A and B are shown apart, each in its own frame.
Chain A
Amino acid sequence: MSSRKPNALDLHVPAPRARPGDKPDFSGWRFPEPGDTPRPDVAASAVELRDFAYGLIRVLDMQGNALGPWTPEIAPETLRRGLKYMLVTRAFDDRMYRAQRQGKTSFYMQSFGEEAVSIAQALALNPDDMCFPSYRQQGLLIARDYPLVEMMNQIYSNARDPVKGRQLPVMYSSKKDGFFTISGNLATQAPQAVGWAMASAYSGDLRIASTWLGEGSTAEGDFHAAMTFAGVYRAPVIINVVNNQWAISSFQGIAGGENTTFAARGVGYGIPPLRVDGNDFLAVYAVTRWAAERARANLGPTLIEHFTYRAGAHSTSDDPSRYRPADEGRAWPLGDPVERLKQHLIALGEWSEEQHRQAQEEALEQVRAAGREAEKVGVLGADGAHPPSSMFEDVYKDMPWHLRQQRDELGA
C-alpha cells in the first residue's frame, strides 16, 4: 500500500459529516419551503410523479402555520387526538426505557422524535386497514387505542403477555387491531404486506395494507421483493421508509442515501415516490391520505420516505454518544413533531400551553396507571408467569408426537 499507482482505483466508504465532538452539520441540505410542493391528482402516472422523490412535502412552517395544497382537511379535534397520542407515546417510551434500566425487562426501543409518522398515519388510515410495522411503530397501537397495560404485559413477558413470553419486548401482535406480529428480522414484513394487499384485492375487500421499515433496511433484498411485487401486481399497499438517519450506528449513507433519496427507490419500480417531512404531522397525514386514496382506487402502491431523525438511542442496548454528536437531534433542522403540532394548534386557537401541560400530565398518569397494573401482574423473570409446557404450544396447530415427547422429557 506504500506507493500508489497514479491511476489507481480507490474504494469509497461513506462517512457522516459529524462524529462525537463535532458540531452537527446539516449545511448541505436544501429543502423546499412549506407549501411549495404541488399536490398531484391521485391518478397521476408514476412517471409524472418522479420529481416528488427528490423534493420534500412540507405543510407546517416553523411558526406552526399550515401552508399550501397539501394542507389536509382535518378537524381540530383529530389534531388534538393526534397530539395526545404522541404525548402518550413519548411518556410510555420514557417509562419503559427507565423500566429496562431498573431491570424490569431485558430490552426496550423508543420512537422518540419520530412519533408523528405512526400517529398521523394511524389516523389517516382506516381503523381496519392492515399494518405490517417494524419495531418502532408503537404509535400505531397507541393511536388504535390498544391498552397500554397490554403493551407493558408484553414488554414484561408477564403472565398476561398476549404473546405468552415468546417474543423480545416491543414485538407486539394484535390481529383484532390490524397490527401484524413484529419480527425482528428486518424488512421481512414489507413483502408480506404486499402479499396481504394482493390477497385483499384478490378477495374484493376494501381494506388496504401499510408497512414500515427503516432506511437502513431498504438495503435488504426483501425490500426489492416488496417493491417488485407491489409494482407488478399494483397491490393496494403503502410502503413507508422511515428515514431516521441512523441504523444503529450506521448513518443513512451506508444504505445508499449519499447518492440519492430513499423515495427515489420508487422511480425504478414505477411506484409513486413521495418524500415527506416526517416531523410534520399534517404533511405525513396528507401524503398518507393521498396514498390510501390511490390504493383504494385500484391504482396501486405508493412509496413514502418519511424524512425524520431518531432522537433517541436505537434501543436500550445502544449508546449513540459513541458515534454521533450528542446534540445532533436538537440541531435537526425540521424540529420536533410534538412541538410543531402543538404550535400549530395554538396558532389555530385550538390549544394552549395550559391545555398542553394538562395533556402531558394526563399522559403521564395514564402511563403510570398502566405501569402499576402491569407490574402487579409481574415483570420479566417473575416465577410462574408461563408454565414450561406452554413453550411447546403453538409451534403447530396440533402438537406432534416429538414435541409431546420433549415436553414430557422436561417434566412439564
Chain B
Amino acid sequence: MPNMTMIQALNSALDNMMARDPTVLTYGEDCGYFGGVFRVTEHLQKKYGPKRCFDAPINECGIAATAIGMAVYGLRPVIEIQFADYMYPAYDQLVSEAARIRYRSANDYTVPMTVRMPYGGGIYGGQTHSQSPEALFTHVAGLKTVIPSTPYDAKGLLISAIEDDDPVIFLEPKRVYNGPFDGRRDRPVIPWAKHPASEVPDEYYKIPLGKANTVREGADLTILAYGTMVHVALAAAEESGIDAEVIDLRTLVPVDIEAIVASVSKTGRCVIVHEATRTSGYGAELSALVQEHCFYQLEAPIQRVTGFDTPYPHALEWEYFPTPQRLIKAMRRVMEA
C-alpha cells in the first residue's frame, strides 16, 4: 500500500471521485494548471481536462455561489477556498444559501457541494493564513463540518463529503498536510511516511461522516480533539504519564455523541483542545454536551485548551499555538481536581 501525505491522499480522493462520477468537478483560485497553492488538485486538470479542474477568479463569494448553482443543477462541485481565512466573502452564500436551500424549498432543491479549505496555524501565516473558523460553520443549521487528522481519514472523509447530499464544509489542517506535527517544534519534522495512517489505498473507500475515532485508549481522562490537535493530544498523553483516551472527532456536525459519552463516562474527566479562539468556540459546545450527558460521571471540571481570544499573532505564534505542554498542564489540573 502506498504511503501518502495528507495532500496526496486528498488528491487521490478527488482523482477517484472524478474518475467515477462525471458530475464531480473542482475549482478554486490557482487550482487548475498549477494544481493549487498546496498542490491538492495537482495533475487533475491534465488528467480530466480544463472543464473539470480549473482556476477561479479571486472572488470567494462567486466561487461558493457558482458551486451552489452547479449543485442545484445536479453536479457535485468541490471548491477550494485557498485559505479558510479567505472564506468570509463567501459566508453569506454558505450560511444563507447553501445551508438553507433544501429547507426553504421543502426538499425541492438540494446542494450537494463540498467546500474545502485549509485552516489553522503553525506555519507562520500571520492573522490571515492561520485562522480556525470551524465554529462559524458548526453554528449554522444545514451545514456539516468535517476535519480530518491523517491522510487515511482525509481521503475517506473527503469521498464521503463529496457523496453527501448536503453541503459539507471540509476543513483541512494545513500544519499536518506534510507530516503529523504534534506541537513540538523543537523536535525534527516527522514525515507522514513513518506514520501508519499514511498507508492509503489508491482505490476508493469511505469513512462515514458523524463517526469519531478513538485514536488512543486510556482510563484516566478523555481528550476531545480534531485536526492538528489530535497529534498534540497524543504527544501530551505520551509525555504526561497520564493514561489519556484521545478521541478524534473527525466530524463536528453531526458530532458522534455516543463516542464522547462512552469515553467520558468511562474516564470521568475531560479536556477539550482546539486551536480556534476560546469564547464561543466549538469547545464550548463540546463542554456543554459533556455536561448535559455526563454530569454525574464527571469527577472534575471540564478544561479547555485553546487558542487565545486574540487575532492570530505572527511573531508570537508559538505562544498562541496550543502545545502539548499547555495541554499537559490542563490534564494535571483535571487529574488533581
Contacts and interface: CB of A to CB of B under 8 A. Distances in A.
Contacts of A173: 104-106, 108-109
Interface stretch (B69-77, B183-191, B198-206, B321-329): B69-77
A224 B61 CA distance: 9
Contacts of A209: 69
A216 to B, nearest CB: 17
Contacts of B66: 191-192, 194-195, 198, 225, 229
B228 interface: no
A63 interface: no
A163 interface: yes
Contacts of B253: 400, 402
A198 B70 contact: yes
B62 A229 contact: yes
B238 interface: no
A224 B59 contact: yes
B101 interface: yes
B103 A195 contact: no
B67 A195 contact: yes
B52 to A, nearest CB: 8
B102 interface: yes
Contacts of A199: 69-70, 73-75
Given A202-B25, A221-B61, A225-B65, A396 B89 contact: no
A191 B92 contact: no
Contacts of A401: 254, 257
Most chain A beta-carbon neighbours within 10 Å: one of B65, B74, B77, B107: B65
Interface stretch (A179-187, A333-341, A371-379): A179-187
A222 B106 contact: no
Nearest to B54: A233
A3 interface: no
Interface in A159-182: 162-164, 166-167, 171, 173-175, 180-181
Interface in A199-246: 199-200, 202-203, 209, 221-222, 224-226, 228-229, 232
B108 A174 contact: yes
A107 to B, nearest CB: 15
Interface residues on A, range: 35 or more
Contacts of A174: 108
A373 to B, nearest CB: 20
Contacts of B57: 228-229, 232
Interface in A383-412: 393-397, 400-402
A206 to B, nearest CB: 13
Contact of A203 (B73, B110, B166): B73
Contact of B254 (A175, A222, A393, A402): A402
Contacts of A393: 107
B68 interface: yes
Given A185-B96, A199-B74, A232-B57, A180 B109 contact: yes
B141 interface: yes
A232 B96 CA distance: 25
B155 interface: no
A393 B253 CA distance: 16
B97 interface: yes
Interface residues of B, number: 43
B210 interface: yes
A197 interface: yes
Interface in A58-75: none
Contacts of B257: 401-402
Contact of A181 (B25, B56, B75, B105): B105
Nearest to B89: A221
A193 B69 contact: yes
Contacts of A190: 65
Interface string B100-120: 011111111110000000000
Contacts of A203: 73-75
B93 interface: yes
Contacts of A194: 62, 65-66, 69
A222 B65 contact: yes
Contact of A162 (B96, B108, B144): B108
A222 B67 CA distance: 13
A192 B75 contact: no
A288 interface: no
Nearest to A391: B103
B262 to A, nearest CB: 14
Nearest to B103: A394
* 10 closest residue pairs by CB, A with B: A195-B69, A195-B66, A225-B62, A191-B65, A400-B254, A199-B73, A196-B69, A181-B105, A192-B69, A173-B105
Interface of A: 130, 132, 162-164, 166-167, 171, 173-175, 180-181, 183, 185, 188, 190-200, 202-203, 209, 221-222, 224-226, 228-229, 232, 393-397, 400-402
17 contacts: A162-B106, A164-B106, A173-B105, A185-B97, A192-B72, A192-B93, A195-B67, A195-B69, A199-B70, A202-B70, A226-B62, A393-B107, A394-B102, A394-B107, A397-B102, A402-B254, A402-B255
